[in-house]
């Protein structure tokens, strides 16, 4: 099935890739091949601000033409643009920041496996990603070939999972696994499926948001032969939910893949209750269930992206009770030094008096509940 671009990307295609056809635009290989990776290319598409122009020669960039078509030409503070265009702020390193804030290397028993929780592992299967998010937790690993991109590099991972029967859930990440060929994805999934104790497989990916052309019928046919397969899709802002993205998610959902979303809370990008509400509502409409809202990890040069924790709590408070429970993600901090994801909730539990539990509802009204002793 081909995806018809909405008028906006087509105009963009004719303007910036005049010799390319609509069919090429809809081909994910073409999108990766023509991705923006240099200052020269970027300058032809948007008017760079002073703050943006300086660091780009030093910092790796990668933006698919599709995602670039969503960027505002003249507005450097537009959300989509801030997610992928580096600024001078990235060169400023603050205390507490680190290249590997989650100490994933420390929790890695064999290359490419992070085993932090008792019953599940993270399997980093490629270092390649189609689009570099400026706030990425694994920016230190992506594009720098820290992950084995050859199939032989996966063997130790398979062996480790096989040797640990307590692993019932394998979370595939990277890089982005959906940038691999259908054949490689099939090889990966079939090897994992041969391990009897692996109950569920999950793929964490940004591809449906930045490269929706990748969700082809042949990929869907591969994915649906390895159920139960779940996906966590990375979304940041309601402007990402275009007709192309809606179609990609609908096709994944129709292939029986339960879809969750992961969103990083980012200053000036999505740190308003209304923005977040628009995002979670748009996600539910395309059958993506908001799963996690992450406090931004303290990667090097991330100060300008990080909000106070009170902001995240305020957003959850502004959602709970005011909209569908299905729309509300878990707000978590992935604790530095390998503490794992720690959930944070506004204070609805006020305390107790004798056997009465004192609770505050979403409107700020106080209620008591007689607890059993
Ligand atoms: C996030 C994460 C998981 C999965 O956690 P869930 O809460 O089950 O989604 C597993 N391993 C690592 C290292 C993680 O960072």
Per-residue confidence in pLDDT tens, the chain, 373 aa: 455 555 578 899 999 999 999 999 999 999 999 999 998 899 999 999 988 887 666 788 999 999 999 999 999 999 999 999 999 999 899 999 998 888 888 899 999 999 999 999 999 999 999 999 999 988 877 865 545 455 678 999 999 999 999 999 999 999 999 999 999 999 999 999 999 999 999 999 999 999 999 999 999 999 999 999 999 999 999 999 999 999 999 999 999 999 999 999 999 999 999 999 999 999 999 999 999 999 999 999 999 999 999 999 999 999 999 999 999 999 999 998 889 999 999 999 999 999 999 999 999 999 999 998 7
Residues pairing with 342 in the sheet: 333
Shared domain for 160 and 282, answered yes or no, is yes
Helix (H) or strand (E) holding 254: helix 243-254
Shared domain for 73 and 177, answered yes or no, is no
**What is the best residue among 103, 115, 116 to mutate for testing ligand 1's pocket, by most ligand atoms within 8 Å of CB?**
116
CA distance 17 to 81: 20
Residues pairing with 229 in the sheet: 201
Shared domain for 161 and 224, answered yes or no, is yes
In a domain, 219, yes or no: yes
In a domain, 370, yes or no: no
Q: Token pair 């008792």 is at which residue? A: 118
pLDDT of residue 102: 87
Is any ligand 1 atom within 6 A of the Cβ of residue 70? no
Is any ligand 1 atom within 6 A of the Cβ of residue 341? yes
Shared domain for 117 and 85, answered yes or no, is no
Token readout for 295 is 């406090």
The Å distance, Cα 341 to ligand 1 centre, comes to 7
Is any ligand 1 atom within 6 A of the Cβ of residue 114? yes
Token readout for 362 is 């979403």
H-type helices in the chain, by residue range? 7-16, 22-25, 28-33, 39-45, 50-53, 65-68, 79-84, 155-163, 182-193, 207-210, 217-223, 243-254, 273-285, 309-319
In a domain, 359, yes or no: no
In a domain, 369, yes or no: no
Indicate which atom in ligand 1 lies nearest the CA of residue 292: 9
Q: Which domain holds residue 269?
A: 113-343
Cα dihedral across residues 318, 322, 323, 327: positive or negative: positive
Is any ligand 1 atom within 6 A of the Cβ of residue 171? yes
pLDDT of residue 8: 72
**What is the best residue among 341, 342, 343 to mutate for testing ligand 1's pocket, by most ligand atoms within 8 Å of CB?**
341
pLDDT of residue 1: 44
Shared domain for 190 and 63, answered yes or no, is no
Contact of 351 with 358, CB cutoff 8 Å: yes
pLDDT of residue 59: 83
- List the CATH number of the domain containing 276: 3.20.20.70
Domain boundary among 25, 56, 89: 89
In a domain, 151, yes or no: yes
Indicate which atom in ligand 1 lies nearest the CA of residue 116: 13
Shared domain for 144 and 186, answered yes or no, is yes
Is any ligand 1 atom within 6 A of the Cβ of residue 120? yes
Q: How many domains does the chain have?
A: 2
The Å distance, Cα 99 to ligand 1 centre, comes to 19
Is any ligand 1 atom within 6 A of the Cβ of residue 330? no
| Positions marked active-site | 116-117, 120, 129, 133, 136, 138, 297, 334, 341
In a domain, 223, yes or no: yes
The counts of H helices and E strands in the chain are 14, 12
In a domain, 275, yes or no: yes
Q: Whose CA is nearest to atom 15 of ligand 1?
A: 340
CA distance 149 to 82: 29
Shared domain for 182 and 217, answered yes or no, is yes
Shared domain for 214 and 277, answered yes or no, is yes
Shared domain for 20 and 58, answered yes or no, is yes
Shared domain for 46 and 157, answered yes or no, is no
Shared domain for 21 and 76, answered yes or no, is yes
Is any ligand 1 atom within 6 A of the Cβ of residue 170? no
Q: Whose CA is nearest to atom 3 of ligand 1?
A: 122
In a domain, 358, yes or no: no
Shared domain for 240 and 284, answered yes or no, is yes
């Amino acid at each position: 099935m081909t995806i018809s671009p909405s008028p906006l990307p087509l105009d963009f295609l004719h303007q910036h890739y005049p010799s390319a056809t609509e069919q090429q635009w809809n081909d994910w290989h073409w999108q990766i091949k023509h991705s923006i990776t240099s200052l020269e290319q970027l300058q032809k598409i948007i008017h760079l601000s002073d703050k943006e122009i300086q660091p780009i020669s030093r910092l790796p960039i990668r933006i698919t033409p599709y995602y670039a078509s969503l960027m505002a030409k003249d507005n450097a503070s537009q959300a989509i643009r801030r997610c992928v265009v580096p600024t001078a702020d990235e060169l400023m390193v603050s205390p507490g920041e680190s290249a590997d804030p989650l100490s994933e290397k420390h929790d890695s028993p064999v290359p490419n496996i992070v085993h932090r929780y008792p019953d599940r592992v993270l399997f980093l299967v490629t270092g390649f990603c189609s689009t570099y998010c400026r706030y990425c937790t694994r920016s230190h690993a992506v594009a720098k070939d820290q992950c084995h991109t050859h199939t032989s590099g996966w063997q130790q991972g398979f062996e480790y999972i096989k040797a640990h029967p307590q692993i019932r859930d394998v979370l595939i990440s990277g890089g982005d696994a959906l940038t691999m060929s259908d054949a490689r994805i099939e090889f990966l999934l079939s090897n994992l499926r041969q391990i009897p104790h692996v109950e569920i497989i999950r793929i964490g990916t940004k591809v449906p948001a930045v490269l929706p052309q990748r969700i082809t019928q042949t990929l869907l046919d591969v994915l649906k032969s390895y159920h139960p397969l779940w996906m966590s899709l990375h979304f940041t802002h309601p402007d990402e939910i275009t007709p192309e993205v809606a179609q990609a998610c609908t096709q994944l959902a129709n292939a029986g893949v339960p879809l969750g979303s992961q969103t990083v809370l980012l200053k000036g990008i999505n740190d308003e209750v209304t923005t977040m509400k628009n995002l979670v509502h748009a996600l539910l409409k395309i059958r993506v269930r908001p799963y996690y809202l992450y406090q931004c990890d303290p990667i090097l040069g991330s100060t300008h992206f990080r909000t106070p924790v009170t902001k995240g709590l305020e957003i959850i408070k502004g959602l709970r009770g005011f909209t569908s429970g299905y729309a509300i993600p878990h707000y978590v901090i992935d604790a530095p030094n390998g503490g794992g994801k720690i959930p944070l909730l506004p204070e609805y539990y006020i305390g107790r008096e004798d056997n009465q539990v004192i609770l505050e509802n979403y409107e700020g009204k106080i209620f008591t509940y007689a607890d059993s002793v």
